Structure 1
Amino acid sequence: MTQAIDATALAADYWSTSIIDIHPGSIKVRGYPIQELIGTIGFPQMIWLMLRGELPEAAQAHLFEAALVASVDHGPHAPSIAISRMATSCGLPLNGAMASALNALDDVHGGAGQQAVELYESIAQLMDAGAAESAAVEQGVDAFIAAHGKYLPGFGHRFHPVDPRATRLLALVDESVLEKTIHGRYAAIARGIEALLKQRKNKPVPMNIDGATAVIYAELGFAPELARGVFCLSRAVGILSHAWEQRGRNERNKGPMPRQMSYRYTGHGERHLP
């Protein structure tokens, strides 16, 4: 005999969550009444609580916030920022412009932080299996290149000889290691990659913003995919700012180049149907 289905329990289980508990007059986030969080914790702590289930220690939150601040914007030539401006000039509201721009943050533009964490973790696994750090770095880098091509995420920059964001973040990482906020394992792995690239290319290939934030996210225990997720949260601030600025300029249908600049046509010369 078929058992009767408890529709109420079925519906409750269908969207079950450990994140938020809402009842009339009551909102609890990970068990904390929302009124106790409002005005007490900062937004980085709230992000951490939502994603990780517990509040961070103050030193962890400070380092996490530094990574978020560093990634907010990189100018109108960054594809996601340019998309937000073009979308706004085409008449999209702010939420539409933001959605259009955020959708561009995939593997090529926006995915390097996640990929760098994955690279660091693969090297850490080799070390856990008994490989010395230098050997693990070389093996991990070679395996990544074999699987994904010669581009190594998190190192080198087409615009900055030395990325000023990475320099500051790595200084904070070193301070956090001394304060025992983090263990420093992934920072050592990343610097091992820097040393290997310098040796192979006979010139420095410094860590960039993606490599440095990946160190922080890995040290703080974030999963690789969350490294991309929190980058999107950070870059959304720059996207919104540029979209709002563009809104005030009253320009219509702004394309990727000024109208005075022509593109190069590389197709057939003029031809006609028989």
Structure 2
Amino acid sequence: MAASSPSFWVSSISRITPEDIYIRGYPMQEIIGRLSYPAISFLLVRGCIPTPGEARMMDVILSSILDYALQKSGTVAARAIVSVNPQMTAGLSAAMLGAGPYAVSPEDAGRFITEGVAKWRASGLGMEEHAETLVAELRAAKRRIPGFGHQVFRGVDPRAEKLKNFAQAQGVWGEANEWYAAVHEAFRKATGKHDLVMNDVGMLAGIMGQMGFTPAEMTGLALQSTFPGVIAHISEELQSGVINRIVPDSIAEYDATQRSLDEDLAAAGWPA
């Protein structure tokens, strides 16, 4: 008897049958109306039913970014794109590409926290001592610590503080968060920048890491949080009637000097 061929794909996320769609093994008809959208999002990504506290925290996470007006490059890109390609999907795709190390995405901070906590546990040092040693090493190497700083907020990022208070109240604040807070404090002391905030992206990374999400999953959830705002901006742009939105010359500066093509071709060795 011939051995069965290996499956092309193996997935435990969902399954469709003639009777129902199963989400992580649970019939969708049983889930709908019993679990909230944030709780279902947790179930899909983590693969297990969240505790009530985790479900409430997911609601806050998915409500934590929403929109940055036109201060978010992804939103600006989305509006520019749909002014020449008037489709919602085109705008959403452009907005997603704007998530990265310097905006929206908690992935770098999440990886920094995950790896840093593991190194601290293995070091045998106290939390504050390890944080001070790590900060000194990173500063000597001129490496950026993700999740610190904001172009507007000083002292405290109110969004981050709200996330912290809620996480503590829901029982999803833990060792990873305390370690990251210790690094933040050590960095402020070492640099003398006592008003440098832990921003919302950094706080989200610590909380989601404590909840068991991978750094890559953190980026997906952060983007999920921005979608209502991006949809609103794209819809507004589509209804504006503006075609081919560009940067006007009045706020652009060009520093290219006039050049001689014939002279430069000759200098480069081209025949006359």
For Structure 1 versus Structure 2, the TM-score category normalised by the shorter chain is: 0.7 to 0.9
Q: CA RMSD in A?
A: 2.2
Distance change in 2, residues 1:183/1:70 (3 Å): closer
Please show how residues 1-274 of structure 1 align to structure 2 within 5 Å: 4=2, 6=4, 10=6, 13-111=7-105, 113-129=106-122, 130-142=124-136, 149-161=142-154, 162-176=156-170, 181-182=171-172, 184-202=174-192, 203-255=194-246, 257=247, 259=248, 261-269=250-258, 271=260, 273=262
Distance change in 2, residues 1:157/1:132 (3 Å): same
Deviation at 1:270, TM superposition (A): 5.2
Residue 21 of structure 1 aligns to a residue whose secondary structure is strand
Q: Distance in 2 between matches of 1:44 and 1:165?
A: 19
Q: What code does the residue aligned with 2:188 have?
A: K
2:82–2:234 CA contact under 8 A, matched in 1: yes
Percent identity of equivalent pairs: 23
Q: What code does the residue aligned with 2:93 have?
A: A
Q: Distance in 2 between matches of 1:168 and 1:90?
A: 39
1:73–1:238 CA contact under 8 A, matched in 2: yes
Q: Could you tell me the TM-score, scaled by structure 2's length?
A: 0.87
1:122–1:140 CA contact under 8 A, matched in 2: no
1:156–1:208 CA contact under 8 A, matched in 2: yes
Q: Could you tell me the TM-score, scaled by structure 1's length?
A: 0.86
Deviation at 1:5, TM superposition (A): 6.8
2:86–2:238 CA contact under 8 A, matched in 1: no
Equivalenced residue count is 260
1:114–1:224 CA contact under 8 A, matched in 2: yes
Q: What code does the residue aligned with 2:216 have?
A: E
Residue 161 of structure 2 aligns to a residue whose secondary structure is helix
**Cα shift readout 1:16-45 (whole Å, capped 9, x = no counterpart):** 211112112321111111111112211111
**Cα shift readout 1:134-163 (whole Å, capped 9, x = no counterpart):** 12223444555667x543211110122232
Distance change in 2, residues 1:184/1:174 (3 Å): same
2:148–2:199 CA contact under 8 A, matched in 1: yes
Distance change in 2, residues 1:44/1:141 (3 Å): farther
Q: Distance in 2 between matches of 1:98 and 1:87?
A: 10
Long gaps (5+) in structure 2: 264-272
2:135–2:187 CA contact under 8 A, matched in 1: no
Deviation at 1:92, TM superposition (A): 3.1
Residue 14 of structure 1 aligns to a residue whose secondary structure is coil
